[in-house]
Amino acid sequence: MARNRALSAVAILATASVLAACGGGDSGSGSGGDSGDGTTLTWWHNSNSDPGKAYYEKVASDFEAANPGVNIEISALAHEDMLTRLDAAFQTGDTPDVYMERGGGELASHVEAGLTKDISEDSAAEIEKIGGSVAGWQMDGKTYALPFSVGVVGFWYNKDLFAQAGITTPPATMAELDDAVAKLKAAGIQPISVGAGDKWPAAHYWYYTAMRECSEDVLSDAVTSKDFSDPCFLKAGEDLEALIATDPFNEGFLATPAQTGPASASGLLASGQVAMELAGHWEPGVMQGLTEDKQGLGTKTGWFPFPAVEGGQGDPAAQLGGGDAWACSAEAPPECTDFINYLLSDEVQTGFAENSMGLPTNPAAAGAVADPALADLLTIRDEAPYVQLYFDTAFGENVGGAMNDAIALMFAGEATPEDIVEATQAAADSE
Amino acid sequence: MADDVTARTTGTDVAATPRDTAGAADRAPRSAAPAARGGRRGLSSAGRKRAEIAFFTAPALALLALFVVVPVIQAVRYSTYKWNGLGPMDDFVGLENYTQALTDDVFTSAVTHNLVIIVLSILIQLPLGLGIALLLNREIRGRSFLRVVIFMPYVLAEVVAGVVWVLLLQPNGLVDSVFDGLGLGGLTQLWLGDPDIALYTVMVVLTWKYLGLAVLLFLAGLQGVPEEIYEAAQIDGATWWQVQRRITIPLLGPTIRTWGFLSMIGSLQLFDMVWILTGGGPANATVTMATYLINQGTDRSLYGYASAVAVILFGISLVLAVIYQFFVLRRDNEAAPRPRKVKR
């Protein structure tokens, strides 16, 4: 027994030293393998299918060729995966060097925790070129990320069904929208699909009525002061309540998902079961994935902006939107900013647009957008007096989540305009 | 189980020399041998025995501590802070997270839903499971096939089953078509989309999913009822119903009580099926404590608040488990008429 014990002790020591040797060997080869004095940039993005994936691989190798000694390690992740892994990465401090920021409250908490690099100086030229779209990624006059794709939300509609119901011009005011809903119903067509099961698609309605009711100053103040006492926020709820009262939505909309499966809000529009849906620039791509012929609505696809609200203080041309931006983590090597500047260059953004990967923010790439519906959107976006970042993103997960929950309750007839403002204010006050 | 371990370790220990090791291995099946040795060695072995128990359970205890006890303590600590998961945790708020949770209408309705699910699970699955078990315990044709059919849903992964049910239950989906085909088209509902109905729809799916476990446990319990008692009852002229009511069900008591415990704990922690079917909606009609924790806590980066909710969930589960243990299961554990019951 004594000898056995001694033996096992030796065995344990041996195992431990082998493990230690492995660990040491790993780190040794890790630093030695990267071509001597080179730098490695880790880059996480969500273009995990072609053509986007291949395009980004090419972009990275072009950058490596132009900058000898820089090595870029790409992780192409599915969108939801990327968000989960980023959350975990931020909590453990093991962040990738180049990653996606969606701006607003999320960015604010990253900046407060000192996790995101200030790129105001290193990217000054790009920031100027992009112009107003970069505002969602700025805090206290400093810029933390470069938006590479910014889209806007509006109504996507089925031109054939509109014609069938005798609607000649897309509605431009809420009264006209009500009229269109009535005509569609009379023609036996479900007017609007909404993925209220996922909450945010429902919330977009309130965001828009708030943007139409509230002036830009009130909204931008609200983002910083988190004060929702202005009466325009109540009016926004009343407008939405009035719209919901016309019963315009698809059957079972409270449990309808936004874009997963043929019974989702996007699926219903794609298969011609409803006439319109309020959604972002991603909609044509989503619909293509939900139809067997991969065409979505094809040539029947139409788009009109959220209607104006009579008597509202807001500019009817203002658009709700959001997008993705490239950011560098605080610990990233200096080459990181060179790389994200390169990602925003005329050349890379043009290729980005040609591959229909999003709505480019570099004006030089605007002409390269191939899809006609997206090209229209781009014009609307660039002509908008301002693009309001989605409220839930702008206010952060906590306030935004409380707001979305309350709005979804209004769709179920269980919340009043006051409830939405109160729930939002309560969440804001608790911060 | 613990007795087994002690017996075996004592045996090995006594075998201090290689020669004895071989001998002990030979003797191991004879349980009397180690016991006799233990007796001969007297008091000094008691401390030794304890040390050995400690030694051999240490790895398991260390894992338990690392993955269960420490996280629970950590959760209690987090729950007293306002913390978004990023940066230092320095905003101590005491019990504020707890008062916020307990005064939140959505959380209290989540607790109510959990309690409703506990009660309905037992009210529905107990008679149904017992009936099916009694039926399948008889010699009927296709018995093993029926057993497989009943047990199948329990084996399916929750998420897979949930996704399939979402497809079946969507408006104009298969369930609606079946109702239409039966001429009951007027009875179709927005199964998952109507706040008044969604919880009961979820309940139906849960029954479908977990009835198999109840039936399986009851069937196993029925195997433990001695044949002679049935024969005696038959000789006394008891009817089939009398046999079931007076003999089978009382003797199945320990199994039923254990199943009740499992069912209760499962209902309290219910998450996956609800998350897939409704995500807690529509209008919070099906929110449970666990979905609330994810939806209002971690999805909003309120890690302190989420921890407080988790601690409340832990507390409620613990209290109910202890009460159940004390009032219902104690009899079974003390008397232990058939130890197999406890193990199962």
pLDDT tens for chain A, 431 residues: list them: 444 544 454 444 444 444 443 433 333 333 333 444 588 999 999 887 778 888 999 999 999 999 998 999 999 988 878 888 998 898 888 899 999 998 888 898 889 888 999 999 899 888 888 887 888 898 888 999 999 999 999 999 999 999 999 999 999 999 999 999 999 999 999 999 999 998 999 999 999 999 999 999 999 888 888 899 999 999 999 999 999 999 999 998 999 988 888 889 999 999 999 999 999 988 888 888 888 887 788 888 889 999 999 999 999 999 999 889 999 999 899 899 999 999 999 999 999 888 878 889 888 888 888 777 788 888 888 888 888 889 988 888 889 999 999 999 999 999 999 999 999 999 998 87
What's the full length of chain B, in residues? 344
CATH number at residue B274: 1.10.3720.10
What's the full length of chain A, in residues? 431
Is some CB atom of chain B closer than 8 A to the CB atom of A261? yes
Give the pLDDT of residue B15: 38
Separation CA A327–CA B208 (nearest Å): 48
A405 interaction partners in chain B (CB closer than 8 Å): 106, 284
Q: What secondary structure letter does DSSP report for B190? A: -
Give chain B's contact residues with A (Cβ, < 8 Å).
15-18, 21, 84-87, 100, 106, 167, 170-173, 190, 192-195, 198, 278-279, 281-284, 296, 299-302
Q: Which two tokens stand for residue A143?
A: 């810029």
Residues B47 and B156 reside in one and the same domain: no
Return the residue of B nearest to A198 by Cα. B279
A401 interaction partners in chain B (CB closer than 8 Å): 296, 299-300
A87 interaction partners in chain B (CB closer than 8 Å): 85
CB contacts < 8 A, A to B, total: 83
Please name the member of B16, B190, B300 whose beta carbon is closest to the beta carbon of A1. Answer: B16
Low-confidence ranges of chain B (pLDDT < 70): 1-43, 333-344
DSSP A285-301: HHHHHHSTTS-TTGGGE
B91 within domain boundaries: no
B87 interaction partners in chain A (CB closer than 8 Å): 112-114
Residue partners of A321: CB distance under 8 A and separation at least 6: A150, A151, A152, A153, A280, A281, A381, A387, A388, A389, A390
CB pair distance less than 8 Å for B190 and A87: no
Domain A154-320+389-429 fold is D-Maltodextrin-Binding Protein; domain 2 (3.40.190)
To the nearest whole Å, the CA of B171 is away from the closest chain A CA by 7
B42 within domain boundaries: yes
Residue A63 φ/ψ, nearest 5 degrees: -65, -40
CB pair distance less than 8 Å for A251 and B21: no
CB-hemisphere CA count at 13 Å for B311? 23
Please name the member of B18, B192, B301 whose beta carbon is closest to the beta carbon of A397. Answer: B301
A197 interaction partners in chain B (CB closer than 8 Å): 278-279, 281-282
In tens, the pLDDT along B251-265 reads: 998 899 999 999 999
Beta bridge partners of residue A389, listed in sequence order:
A321
Beta bridge partners of residue A276, listed in sequence order:
A157, A192
A110 interaction partners in chain B (CB closer than 8 Å): 86
Return the residue of B nearest to A251 by Cα. B171
Residues B338 and B254 reside in one and the same domain: yes
The domain limits of chain A are 39-151+322-382, 154-320+389-429
Closest to A362 (Cα-Cα) out of A337, A402, A397, A326: A326
To the nearest whole Å, the CA of A56 is away from the closest chain B CA by 30
To the nearest whole Å, the CA of A223 is away from the closest chain B CA by 17
Secondary structure of residue A326 in the 3-state scheme: strand
Residues B73 and B182 reside in one and the same domain: no
Q: What secondary structure letter does DSSP report for A367? A: G
A255 interaction partners in chain B (CB closer than 8 Å): 170, 190, 192-193, 198, 278, 281-282
Q: For chain A, what is the mean pLDDT?
A: 86
Residue partners of A160: CB distance under 8 A and separation at least 6: A272, A300
Beta bridge partners of residue A320, listed in sequence order:
A388
Residues B37 and B132 reside in one and the same domain: no
Separation CA A159–CA A302 (nearest Å): 6
B300 interaction partners in chain A (CB closer than 8 Å): 397-398, 401-402
Is some CB atom of chain B closer than 8 A to the CB atom of A93? no
Q: Which two tokens stand for residue B51?
A: 């040390």
For chain B, the distance separating the N- and C-terminal CA atoms, rounded to the nearest angstrom, is 12
Give the pLDDT of residue B5: 39
CB pair distance less than 8 Å for B87 and A112: yes
To the nearest whole Å, the CA of A255 is away from the closest chain B CA by 5
Residues B217 and B289 reside in one and the same domain: yes
To the nearest whole Å, the CA of B239 is away from the closest chain A CA by 51
Q: Which two tokens stand for residue A63?
A: 């950058």
* Tally: H helices and E strands in chain B: 20, 0
CB pair distance less than 8 Å for A412 and B173: no
Q: Which of residues 181-220 of A touch B (CB under 8 A)?
A: 196-199
Closest to B274 (Cα-Cα) out of B113, B109, B80, B100: B113
To the nearest whole Å, the CA of B3 is away from the closest chain A CA by 23
Separation CA B95–CA A86 (nearest Å): 30
B178 within domain boundaries: yes
Dihedral sign, CA of A317, A221, A282, A370? Answer: positive
In tens, the pLDDT along A370-390 reads: 777 788 888 888 888 888 889
Alpha-helical regions (H) of A197-344: 200-213, 216-225, 231-245, 265-270, 283-290, 335-343
Residues B283 and B208 reside in one and the same domain: yes
Please name the member of A1, A251, A414 whose beta carbon is closest to the beta carbon of B283. Answer: A414
Single pTM value for the model: 0.79
CB pair distance less than 8 Å for A254 and B87: no
B279 within domain boundaries: yes
CB pair distance less than 8 Å for A263 and B170: yes
Cite the beta strand spans of A10-116 per DSSP E. 39-45, 70-76, 98-101
Please name the member of A261, A396, A412 whose beta carbon is closest to the beta carbon of B282. Answer: A412
What is the bridge-based pairing of β-strands A138-139 and A142-143?
antiparallel
CB pair distance less than 8 Å for B194 and A254: yes
To the nearest whole Å, the CA of B50 is away from the closest chain A CA by 19
Please name the member of B167, B190, B284 whose beta carbon is closest to the beta carbon of A251. Answer: B190
Residues B71 and B106 reside in one and the same domain: no
Please name the member of B86, B283, B296 whose beta carbon is closest to the beta carbon of A91. Answer: B86
Is some CB atom of chain B closer than 8 A to the CB atom of A430? yes
Domain count, chain B: 2
CB pair distance less than 8 Å for B192 and A196: no
Residue A294 φ/ψ, nearest 5 degrees: 60, 25
Give the pLDDT of residue B12: 38
In CATH terms, are A39-151+322-382 and A154-320+389-429 the same topology?
yes
CB pair distance less than 8 Å for A255 and B198: yes
What's domain A39-151+322-382's superfamily in CATH?
Periplasmic binding protein-like II (3.40.190.10)
Please name the member of A113, A408, A412 whose beta carbon is closest to the beta carbon of B86. Answer: A113
Burial class (CB in 10 A: 0-12, 13-18, 19+), A38: middle
Is some CB atom of chain B closer than 8 A to the CB atom of A271? no
Which residue segment(s) compose the domain that B136 sits in?
Answer: 99-343
Q: Which two tokens stand for residue A404?
A: 């979305």
